[in-house]
Structure 1
């Protein structure tokens, strides 16, 4: 069974998505997510001009060989654009293989290791009362674990906080930081104000909802290692499930300092795109959860190897699952979640109704657990007619500055 054609589909039902569709000589199709928020066309061009010509005529069943061919065969390795492109090819080929087998993908990965994947939702509020309303709404919607983000007094727009009370307290977390503007929006940040504010937020949430509810928090790369160590220590009384991306992760040794100062579990890696990014972190047991996305880390083949490696060092999965990962990428994550032994938790942001017009999904969310479904393959169908109704629009993620104007990590 050879690859007959491969094409990219770019659509924007509220946000931009890039999808690769591979078709075999037997007429079987497979989908892969190639979305890179704010840099979508860079991946689409890389696929269309450099990768697709290499695929035509290849054996669709040789997934490992194709992965190595695209990774090792190109002199310039790694990076988010390259790895997102490889991920799209890899995921599409797994989709095809599972469809040919007549099985859901997780069966080819070893079968189910659990009934479903525990998912966490994103509660947020511009202040604490609004946040508490959002937590209640998420619990009512069935979530059994909650990420907590709130506004910081004195600051305007803050990462992770929905733009309106309706969005923050409603059934869907409707936050898209990538704005359709000529230049990136610039936000202002004050780390000291944030560090003063956040412990009181978690004190209020624990007082309202008790000690059992798993609570998570995302620092979004904004702290120095010593600041992150302080925050982790200050949050220890509130028993977090994890503190995510406390400091920029490319300085892996920085996590040693954080680990020395706190027992709060640490998660990192949503901007990583290779197992090599994790070597020090795993070998020295500096993190507890791996946050990479299937879409940005070379696909199912690479993520399975990464998570197997993490398991040897006691780390668990926490696969990145925002709504700028398309339903194709989300489904791929869920099949891995169900199959691997060292599953931790799955991020789950509900896609908009417009997105689900374009991507017809079969995965389910019930009693706090996600399941990829037993449909053959990934279980996602791309509606071409709907996709054409939502043309691409350029969008940028924000840029962050400190109060004195210095560019800071966003």
Structure 2
């Protein structure tokens, strides 16, 4: 069996997705997600111009060798564009291998380590009462874990807060601008966790995303203030480039820390993991080199008491979500899986067999990943340029988004 063809499909059923579809000379196909939010066409070009020509004629069963070929064979390594392209190939090849074997991918990864994948939903509000209403809706649906985000008084349009049914921060072709106040944020956030714990008790697992907005000492202060509310994790408290910062944060708080959704490789995470400076690694299949490479990251994490918490927002297609669930189900050190349901339009473009039930996601039992792309349906939603926002402080200084 050989790879006969491969093509990139870019579509926008409510938001942009980049999908790679590989076909063998025996008619077996596999799909991989290559979406990089706000930079989709860069990955599409990398795949079309550089990767696909090198795939034709290769043995699709040689997944590890193909990964090394695409990684080591490019002098300019790593980075989100390269690693998202490699991830798409890797994921598609796992899909093909599962179909050839007649098994779901998680069986090829060692089989089940658990019965279901615990997921967390996104509760948010523009006030404490609206936040509590949002949390209640997730609890009623059976969620056992919820991410908590709310707008501090006087701040609007900040990350993670939306009244729309489907949250999508990427909008206009030119980035929109938002205003951020760290003092207002630090003063407000502990109060929302106090309110949620008072309303829902100690058993509901709670997380919070800082989104890289703080300095190390500010993050330490926040972590300490949140200790009474027993968070499962505090996510991305400082910019991911500042790995030394996590040593300082660790000195001041026992609130668990999570980081990694912008990481692309095991080298991005190795110090944080090996020195136990974090508690959860949030790298994801599409941005960290596919199932093959993310499994390496997770295996390293398992040696150092670090659990997984893969990114799973709607900027990842159902192809990536399905791949993540197969990996989540198999690994021994799974923690939590982020889950934001896609729109009906997206689900129609990407028919899939995974399902939500009583707080858990369950991957498909079909051979392979159990997901595909309906190319005729995808053609109804052409690409539209969309960029993520930027943030400025109140005096106009650029800040981290």
**TM-score bracket for the superposition, by shorter chain length:** over 0.9
Report the equivalent of 2:167: 175
Matches within 5 A, 1:361-400: 361-400=352-391
1:182 CA displacement:
3.8
Q: 2: CA distance between counterparts of 1:381 and 1:248? A: 35
- Structure 2 residue 120 is the aligned partner of structure 1 residue 120: yes
Q: Structure 2 unaligned segments of length 5 or more: list them.
A: none
Instruction: Say whether 1:86 aligns with 2:77.
Output: no
The equivalent of 1:184 in structure 2 is: 175
The equivalent residue for 2:397 is 406
Q: How does 1:311-326 map to 2 (within 5 A)?
A: 311-326=302-317
Residue 10 in structure 1 maps to residue 10 in structure 2: yes
What residue in structure 2 maps to residue 274 of structure 1? 265
Q: State the Cα distance separating 1:27 from its structure 2 match.
A: 0.4
| Cα distance in 1, alignment partners of residues 156 and 362 from structure 2 | 37
For residues 309 and 92 of structure 2, what CA distance do their matches in structure 1 show?
Answer: 22
1:194 alignment counterpart: 185
Cα deviation, 1:300-338, whole Å, max 9, x if unaligned, reads 000001100000001011011000100000000000000
TM-score by length of 1: 0.97
Shift of 1:156: 1.5
SS at match of 1:381: coil
> Is the 1:253–1:280 Cα contact (8 Å) retained in structure 2?
no
| Cα distance, 1:236 vs structure 2 | 0.2
Q: Which residue of 1 aligns with 2:212?
A: 221
SS at match of 1:360: coil
Q: 2: CA distance between counterparts of 1:261 and 1:176?
A: 34
- Equivalent residue, structure 2, for 1:242: 233
Separation in structure 1 between the aligned mates of residue 263 and residue 348 of structure 2, nearest angstrom: 30
Matched residue of 1:400: which SS?
A: strand
Give the 4+ runs in structure 1 shifted more than 2 A.
Answer: none
Aligned to 2:138: 138
The correspondence for 1:359, drawn from 350, 358, 362, is 350
Q: Deviations for 1:375-400, whole angstroms, at most 9, x for unmatched residues?
A: 11000021111100111000000011
* Aligned-partner Cα distance in 2 for 1:282–1:208: 35
2:149 maps to which residue? 149
Q: What secondary structure sits across from 1:217 in the alignment?
A: strand
Corresponding residue for residue 281 of structure 2:
290
Mark the runs of 5 or more structure 1 residues left unpaired by the alignment. Answer: none
Inter-partner Cα distance in structure 2 for 1:23 and 1:209 = 50
CA RMSD of superposed structures (Å): 0.7
SS in 1 for 2:43: helix
Q: SS state of the match for residue 137, structure 1?
A: helix
What SS does structure 2 have at the residue aligned with 1:201?
helix
After superposition, residues 293-308 of structure 1 pair within 5 angstroms as: 293-308=284-299
CA contact (8 A) 1:184 1:397 kept: yes
Relative to the length of structure 2, the TM-score reads 0.99
1:27-66 equivalence runs, <5 A: 27-66=27-66
CA distance in 1, matches of 2:356, 2:232: 21
Give how far 1:57 is off.
0.3
